């Protein structure tokens, strides 16, 4: 997570020049990707593991808002401070991890929305 938020912060800081906005945007983007990834992987493993049904309950509408807030809180708790991210962002030259994680999230989201139509 540290690499992804550092890469996103670096990209946003180059575009906007605002430290706090870049950090918060990185947290929101990473939280959204984590939400999509957990939901997608749980949907893919629905028949394999018994406890996955309980995880999928967390992604239904009224409860999904609390789940999104929980994932944002966990992401905020696990990521380094703004100063540490800003210091690490000066060393970053590649966005490969951010691009790959974003593509993985888009593939999972596409499968969740159109999987039945694509694979039947």
As a whole number, mean pLDDT of residues 96-117 equals 87
Q: Are 59 and 42 in contact (CB under 8 A)?
A: yes
How buried is residue 94: exposed, middle or buried, by Cβ count under 10 Å (0-12/13-18/19+)? exposed
pLDDT at 114 over 90: no
Using CA of residue 49, residue 51, residue 54, residue 59, what is the dihedral sign? Answer: negative
Res 62 pLDDT > 90: no
Most confident of 55-59, 92-96, 98-102: 98-102
C-alpha 117/C-alpha 103 separation (Å) is: 20
**Which pLDDT does position 46 carry in this prediction?**
80
Q: Are 10 and 89 in contact (CB under 8 A)?
A: yes
Q: Could you give the 3-state DSSP secondary structure of residue 88?
A: helix
Q: Which two tokens stand for residue 22?
A: 């870049």
Question: What's the pLDDT at 120?
Answer: 64
- For the chain, the farthest-separated pair of C-alpha atoms sits apart, in whole angstroms, at 49
Assess whether pLDDT exceeds 90 at residue 103.
Answer: yes
């Amino acid at each position: 997570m540290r690499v992804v938020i550092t890469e996103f912060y670096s990209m946003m800081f180059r575009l906007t020049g605002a430290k706090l906005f870049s950090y918060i945007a990185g947290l929101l983007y990473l939280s959204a990707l984590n939400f999509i990834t957990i939901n997608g992987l749980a949907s893919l493993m629905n028949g394999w593991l018994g406890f996955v049904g309980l995880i999928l309950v967390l992604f239904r509408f009224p409860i999904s808002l609390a789940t999104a807030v929980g994932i944002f809180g966990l992401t905020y708790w696990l990521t380094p401070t703004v100063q540490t991210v800003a210091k690490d962002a000066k060393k970053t030259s590649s966005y490969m991890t951010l691009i790959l994680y974003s593509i993985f999230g888009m593939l999972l989201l596409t499968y969740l929305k159109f999987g039945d139509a694509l694979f039947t």
